Amino acid sequence: MWIRDSLRTVFETLEAENDDDVPILVKIGPDSPEESMLDLVDIVEECDLDGIVATNTTTSREGLESPRGEEWGGLSGNPLRERSTSAIRTLARHTDDDLPIVGVGGVDSARSAYEKIRAGASLVQLYTGFVYGGPRTAKRINQGLVELLERDEFSSVEDAVGADLE
């Protein structure tokens, strides 16, 4: 309970100081229990914040076969992809439709960006994908997304947001 109260205090303080109405989004880790994620959504909505970024890196090494799997620290990129998409789905099922979710974790292609969108993300962010794909990655993703949207007969990205939740 004290965590909820502490978070509420932090968010309310930020909002009170936010004279310029800068959008405030809360970033969530993928390893929290579902109940904690949903608690966080409730507080974000109660405090009128502007969205959720899902997710940060994972400490899990489940299914990872890399010889470097034992290294300490947060894991990003493809091994995080499904875990992050699953968190987005959980959050999207629970949020009001108008609370934006930024989907991040293992996006490196149109297919992986589309997966996040269909899970409920209305924006997509990538970090590790750029390291491997280089600066043309965004263009490649955008072009591929157009094809996937056309294939599934969506007229815009917005129409595809949360399509897998139905």
**Which residue matches tokens 């509420």?**
8
Residues 26-85 that bind ligand FMN (CB under 6 A): 27, 56-57, 76-77, 80
Residue 128 makes contact with ligand FMN by CB under 6 A:
yes
Q: How far is the CB of 63 from ligand FMN (least distance, A)?
A: 15
Nearest CB to ligand FMN, comparing residues 53 and 149: 53
Q: What are phi and psi of 123, to 5 degrees?
A: -140, 155
Residue 106 makes contact with ligand FMN by CB under 6 A:
yes
Q: Please, are residues 47 and 97 in contact by the beta-carbon 8 Å criterion?
A: no
Q: How far is the CB of 127 from ligand FMN (least distance, A)?
A: 3
Applying CB under 6 A, which part among 31-39, 98-106, 133-141, 156-164 lies near ligand FMN?
A: 98-106
Among 105, 115, 119, 149, binds ligand FMN (CB under 6 A): 105
CA gap 131, 24 in Å, rounded: 27
Q: Is 151 exposed, middle or buried (0-12, 13-18, 19+ CB in 10 A)?
A: exposed
Q: What element of type H or E holds 143?
A: helix 137-151
Among 107, 110, 124, 160, binds ligand FMN (CB under 6 A): 107
CA gap 162, 164 in Å, rounded: 5
The residues binding ligand FMN (CB under 6 A) are: 27, 56-57, 76-77, 80, 104-107, 126-129
